[in-house]
Amino acid sequence: MLTVALPKGRIAQETLEIFERIFGEDFAFDDRKLILDTPKFRFLLVRNQDVATYVFHQAADIGVVGLDTLEEQGLDVVRLLDLKRGICKVSIGMKKGEKFDLNKPEIKVASKMVNITKRYFEERAVSVDIIKLYGSIELAPLIGLADMIVDVVETGTTMKQNGLEVVEDIMTSSTYLIANKNSYVAKKDEVLDIYKKINSVVQAEQKA
């Protein structure tokens, strides 16, 4: 049996649909329940930011989570497969028309992804003040809390409606299937079996 950590919301829904396609049966959590037991799998419903934690500690054997979150958290898990969905970018945004100038002194950057932000500026040898926020990041430049933001951009609507624009893309993200390192060895057959089945669904979608 494999334990599968899924992030509450759309990704969990989409992943369960992949399992339904593969096994031809219904996979659905009852109302507010956080565990779904089936003969082959135990599904756990967790917060997006907690998926890799469950997998890292082997409370789940496999999980589904965005590459942006994996890069931000840096937990040592196996990245098995790009599910080619949940595609978005992590980008730098500024007030429309403002110049993106890394030579400016005392740059303040607001983000919930402080590690990705830190790495980006360190690689460019630019020292910045990073201000950690937990949401509504787009507000920070508007009221002078920060000069720029590093945030997830999907459609671009949130930035646009708040008078911001992307000045630089840092990375492209999509949803990944991940595995615990020990489970990957100890439950190799089961992990590779579900990997292959999910991969064939993803490949078929890519061709369609």
- Kindly state the smallest distance separating residue 80's Cβ from ligand PRP, in Å: 23
d(CA 142, CA 82): 35
- Residue closer to ligand PRP (CB basis): 136 or 203: 136
Backbone angles phi, psi at 56, to 5 degrees: -55, -45
Per CB under 6 A, 61 contacts ligand PRP:
no
Question: Measuring CA to CA, which residue among 20, 11, 13 is closest to residue 85?
Answer: 11
Q: How far apart are CA 174 and CA 67, in angstroms?
A: 6
Nearer to ligand PRP, 42 or 95 (CB): 95
Stretch that binds ligand PRP, among 59-67, 92-100, 102-110, 151-159 (CB under 6 A): 151-159
Question: Could you tell me if 94 and 164 are in contact, meaning their C-beta atoms sit under 8 angstroms apart?
Answer: yes
- Give the number of other Cβ atoms within 10 Å of residue 90's Cβ: 23
Q: For 32, what's the count of Cα atoms within 13 Å in the CB-facing half-sphere?
A: 0
Spell out, one character per residue from 10 to 49, where the chain touches ligand PRP: x when CB under 6 A holds, - when not: ----------------------------------------
Looking at beta carbons only, is 5 or 150 nearer to ligand PRP? 150
- Cβ proximity to ligand PRP: between 15 and 173 the closer is 173
Applying the rule CB under 6 A, the residues between 105 and 144 that interact with ligand PRP are: 135, 137-138
DSSP track, 80-140: EEE-S-S-EEEEEEEETT----TTSSSEEEEES-HHHHHHHHHHTT--EEEEE-SS-TTHH
- Taking the complex as a whole, how short is the minimal distance between the CB of residue 134 and ligand PRP, in angstroms? 8
Q: Return the residues of window 153-172 that contact ligand PRP according to CB under 6 A.
A: 153-158
Chain residues binding ligand PRP by CB under 6 A are: 135, 137-138, 151-158
